[in-house]
A = this chain, B = another copy of it.
Amino acid sequence: MYICPMYSSELIKGTLRTIVLNLLKENGRMYGYEITQRVKELTDDKIQITEGALYPLLHALEASEDLETEVEFIGKRQRKYYRLTKQGKQTSKKKIDELREFIETLQILLDANKGTSHGLIN
């Protein structure tokens, strides 16, 4: 029994694809479950990717030829590794750049009007 102190996860919408592409870019190849655990670990449990979100996304990225797969067996249990295709590397770069820009824009919005007569000291 554990509590989940996550973000009201509407925020994750729209960023998940980029997060996954970025992880694959940095790590070469990963399998689904590994991705969920890595994100959980890197974000100190603050972002937890659900499997219901991840697997369909991976399938879609494979269908669009941004990812390719190879299946391996650990004992009798299958693991499906994903890696970026050449096209996927471009997509990845584009998405990551876009996300960084978006974050900058957000920060402008969040900081707008700070320090004017309105919002003085809180």
Contacts and interface: CB of A to CB of B under 8 A. Distances in A.
Best-surrounded residue of A17, A23, A96, A110 (most CB of chain B within 10 A):
A110
Interface string A29-45: 00000000001001100
A109 B19 contact: yes
Contact of A101 (B7, B96, B106): B7
Nearest to A119: B26
A98 B7 CA distance: 7
Interface of A: 7-8, 10-15, 17, 19, 22-23, 25-28, 39, 42-43, 46-47, 96, 98-103, 105-110, 112-114, 118-119
Contacts of A46: 101, 105
A8 B98 CA distance: 8
Contacts of A105: 7, 43, 46-47
B11 A113 contact: no
25 contacts: A7-B98, A7-B105, A8-B98, A11-B14, A11-B98, A11-B99, A11-B102, A12-B14, A14-B14, A15-B106, A23-B109, A23-B112, A26-B112, A26-B113, A26-B114, A39-B109, A42-B109, A43-B108, A43-B109, A46-B101, A46-B105, A47-B109, A100-B110, A103-B103, A103-B107
